[in-house]
Structure 1
Amino acid sequence: MAFLGLEKHLTFYGSYHAHPTNIYIHIVFVPVLMFTMMSLGANVSLPLPLVPSEYANLSTVTAAVYGLGYILLAPIPGTLLAPYVLVQSLVGSYCVGHIDRFNMYAAAVQVVSWLLQFVGHGVFEKRAPALLDNLSQALFLAPLFVWIEVLFMMGWNQELKLRLEGSVAERRKEMDQAKKGKGKGKGKSEL
Structure 2
Amino acid sequence: MEEAKRRPRGVLDLEAQFAFFRSQHRHPVNAAAHALLAGPILFGSLLILYFLPLPSPLDPALALSLAYGAAYLAVDRRAGALAALLLLGAWAASRALAARLGFALAWKVVLATELFCWTWQFLGHGLFEKKGPTVSELPAVFLMEPFLILLQILNKLFGYEPYPGFSKNVDKKMEADLSESRELEQRKIN
Give the TM bin, normalised by the shorter chain.
0.7 to 0.9
- Greater alpha carbon shift after TM alignment, 99-108 vs 25-34: 99-108
The TM-score, its normalising length taken from structure 1, stands at 0.84
1:107 Cα deviation from its structure 2 partner: 1.3
Contact between 1:10 and 1:145, CA under 8 Å: does it hold in 2? yes
1:182 corresponding residue in structure 2: 188
Unmatched 5+ stretches in structure 1:
50-55, 185-191
1:32 corresponding residue in structure 2: 40
1:120 aligns with 2:124: yes
2:22 corresponding residue in structure 1: 14
1:53 corresponding residue in structure 2: none
1:102 corresponding residue in structure 2: 106
1:163 Cα deviation from its structure 2 partner: 2.6
Q: Which has the larger radius of gyration?
A: 1
Say which SS state the counterpart of residue 78 (structure 2) adopts: helix
1:147 aligns with 2:158: no
Q: Distance in 1 between matches of 2:189 and 2:144?
A: 30
Say which SS state the counterpart of residue 128 (structure 1) adopts: coil
The one-letter amino acid of 1:86's match is: L
Unmatched 5+ stretches in structure 2:
1-11
Say which SS state the counterpart of residue 96 (structure 1) adopts: helix
Structure with higher RCO (Cα < 8 A, 6+ apart) = 2
Instruction: Write out per-residue CA displacement over residues 36-80 of structure 1, whole angstroms, 9 at most, x where no aligned residue.
Output: 11111111144666xxxxxx4211110010011110112111111
- For these two proteins, the number of residue pairs brought into alignment is 176
Q: RMSD in angstroms over aligned alpha carbons? A: 2.1
Contact between 2:48 and 2:106, CA under 8 Å: does it hold in 1? no
1:189 corresponding residue in structure 2: none
1:12 Cα deviation from its structure 2 partner: 2.6
Q: Distance in 2 between matches of 1:94 and 1:45?
A: 17
The TM-score, its normalising length taken from structure 2, stands at 0.84
